[in-house]
């Protein structure tokens, strides 16, 4: 059973490594999002397509119900959308107090107002709203629900755009992180398999993380624009780009510290330099000290050249191929996202908690049989 236990611990260690790297890439993605605003761009693009007119979309974003969400909102509740659009459509033909309110409780009056819209640019949205109203009969609440569902369906498509783009961003970030930290899956697996102390410490760190974080990590920038199918009790206050960037940088710093504390065979070796102060001797006439410094330099140089983090030397480039394969495996694993690895980590920890007691009781059972 010892072999199975070791295999399980190696798996937990690798899952934890992938989780930390996924969290790091998610934070990097949030940092990119704070500057490029993919969510806001996708939301705006989706609403322009839904309303079939840029001017109408601009009027929608300038509406008093939408404007408080920010200049480039990444979140608009479905109810806010339906009320704002309803108001815009009905004020096009309403007069007096009705024009000021834009929304009444009389569905027949609302339908008449929308049907009276003659602006050529609004004909597509007019047809859509009339269809949604007619399907509701005389039930104004159902009519509004139809508009909200129409919006949510459109936002589902927007979510698809965002998810596909984010998946590729995570692959690229995962590859960059794997290269920057030299996180070679094959090398790390070997280290965890053969180094009992390292494996034990990494598994302990993984268990501590799971205890300290009982809920899945927020998806951050990997989450698509929200549709607002279930409106929140209060409209979330959007963070400024500066706040988003500061929050992302803090996450990056924390996760990097956690990752470095594992003491894994990652990172790129630094070539020793003869002018490094640790190889210098103040007394140039001290032969013993000079020889000791020279020996240290030679030993460090040899350790640098034979460091397992470098591709294994081979005539047919096999070592380089294995190194590249390990890096690619890491990048593909990271692209699965932090929630995936968090869920898997907890499952494996539960399995290990049931296996360990059996291992402890097995020797006693064997002794009884003898």
Domain presence at residue 167: yes
The answer, yes or no, to whether residue 234 has pLDDT greater than 90, is no
Domain presence at residue 201: yes
Q: 3-state DSSP call for residue 337? A: coil
The answer, yes or no, to whether residue 319 has pLDDT greater than 80, is no
Q: How far apart are CA 171 and CA 326, in angstroms?
A: 14
Domain presence at residue 178: yes
Domain presence at residue 304: no
Q: 3-state DSSP call for residue 267? A: coil
Contact at 8 Å (CB) between 17 and 210?
no
**What confidence tier does 105 reach under pLDDT thresholds 50, 70, 90?**
low
Contact at 8 Å (CB) between 126 and 117?
yes
Tell me, what's the pLDDT at 315?
Answer: 54
The two tokens of residue 102 are 């834009």
Domain presence at residue 366: no
* Closest alpha carbon to 264 in 18, 8, 2, 6: 18
When mean pLDDT is compared across 52-61, 194-203, 351-360, the lowest value belongs to 351-360
* Closest alpha carbon to 113 in 137, 129, 136: 129
**What confidence tier does 114 reach under pLDDT thresholds 50, 70, 90?**
confident
Angle (deg, nearest 10), helices 2-36 and 185-194: 140
Tell me, what's the pLDDT at 86?
Answer: 81
Note the pLDDT tens digit of each residue in 252-299: 899 999 998 998 988 777 777 877 787 787 777 777 877 887 778 788
Q: Report the DSSP beta bridge partners of residue 75.
A: 226
> Between the CA of residue 289 and those of 274, 284, 297, what are the distances in Å?
15, 8, 12
Residues in the chain, total = 370
Tell me, what's the pLDDT at 229?
Answer: 44
Burial class (CB in 10 A: 0-12, 13-18, 19+), 256: middle
The answer, yes or no, to whether residue 179 has pLDDT greater than 60, is yes
pTM (whole model) above 0.75? no
Tell me, what's the pLDDT at 352?
Answer: 87
Burial 295-330 (b: 16+ CB within 10 A, else e): eebeebeeeeeeeebbbeeeeeeeeeebbeebbbbb
The answer, yes or no, to whether residue 334 has pLDDT greater than 80, is yes
The answer, yes or no, to whether residue 362 has pLDDT greater than 60, is no
**What confidence tier does 367 reach under pLDDT thresholds 50, 70, 90?**
very low
Question: pLDDT higher for 205 or 270?
Answer: 205
When mean pLDDT is compared across 59-63, 218-222, 344-348, 353-357, the lowest value belongs to 218-222
Domain presence at residue 272: no
Angle (deg, nearest 10), helices 318-334 and 140-181: 160
Q: How far apart are CA 25 and CA 222, in angstroms?
A: 10
Note the pLDDT tens digit of each residue in 60-77: 999 999 998 888 888 899
Tell me, what's the pLDDT at 94?
Answer: 52
Range of the domain at 69: 2-260
Domain presence at residue 365: no
Average confidence score pLDDT of the chain? 81
Q: How far apart are CA 202 and CA 265, in angstroms?
A: 12
Domain presence at residue 66: yes
Q: How far apart are CA 92 and CA 176, in angstroms?
A: 52
Tell me, what's the pLDDT at 235?
Answer: 46
Provide the domain count of the chain.
Answer: 1
């Amino acid at each position: 059973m010892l072999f199975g236990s070791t295999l399980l611990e190696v798996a937990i260690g690798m899952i934890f490594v992938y989780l930390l790297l996924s969290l790091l890439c998610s934070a990097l993605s949030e940092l990119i999002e704070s500057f490029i605003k993919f969510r806001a761009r996708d939301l705006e693009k989706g609403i322009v397509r839904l309303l079939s007119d840029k001017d109408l979309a601009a009027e929608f974003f300038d509406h008093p119900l939408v404007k408080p969400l920010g200049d480039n909102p990444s979140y608009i509740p479905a109810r806010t959308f339906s009320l704002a659009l309803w108001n815009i459509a009905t004020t096009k033909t309403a007069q007096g107090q009705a024009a000021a309110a834009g929304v009444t409780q009389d569905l027949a009056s609302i339908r008449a107002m929308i049907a009276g819209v003659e602006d050529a640019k609004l004909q597509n949205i007019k047809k859509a709203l009339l269809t949604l109203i007619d399907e509701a009969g005389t039930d104004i609440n159902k009519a509004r629900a139809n508009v909200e569902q129409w919006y949510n369906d459109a936002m589902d498509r927007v979510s698809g755009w965002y998810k596909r783009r984010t998946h590729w961003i995570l692959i690229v970030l995962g590859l960059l992180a794997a290269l920057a930290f030299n996180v070679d899956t094959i090398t790390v697996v070997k280290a965890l398999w053969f180094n009992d102390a390292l494996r034990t410490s990494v598994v302990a760190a993984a268990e501590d993380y799971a205890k300290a974080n009982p809920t899945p990590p927020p998806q951050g920038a990997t989450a698509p624009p929200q549709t607002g199918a279930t409106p929140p009790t209060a409209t979330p206050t959007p963070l400024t780009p500066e706040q988003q960037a500061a929050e992302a940088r803090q996450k990056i710093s924390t996760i990097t510290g956690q990752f470095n504390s594992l003491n894994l065979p990652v990172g790129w070796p630094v070539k020793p330099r003869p002018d490094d102060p640790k190889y210098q001797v103040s007394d140039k006439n001290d032969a013993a000290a000079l020889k000791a410094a020279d020996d240290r330099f030679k030993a460090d140089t040899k350790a640098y050249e034979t460091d397992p983090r470098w591709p294994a030397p081979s005539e047919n480039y096999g070592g380089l191929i294995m190194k590249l394969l390990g890096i690619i495996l890491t990048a593909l694993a990271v692209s699965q996202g932090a929630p995936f690895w968090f869920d898997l980590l907890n499952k494996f920890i539960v399995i290990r908690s049931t296996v360990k007691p059996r291992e402890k009781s097995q020797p006693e059972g064997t002794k009884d049989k003898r």
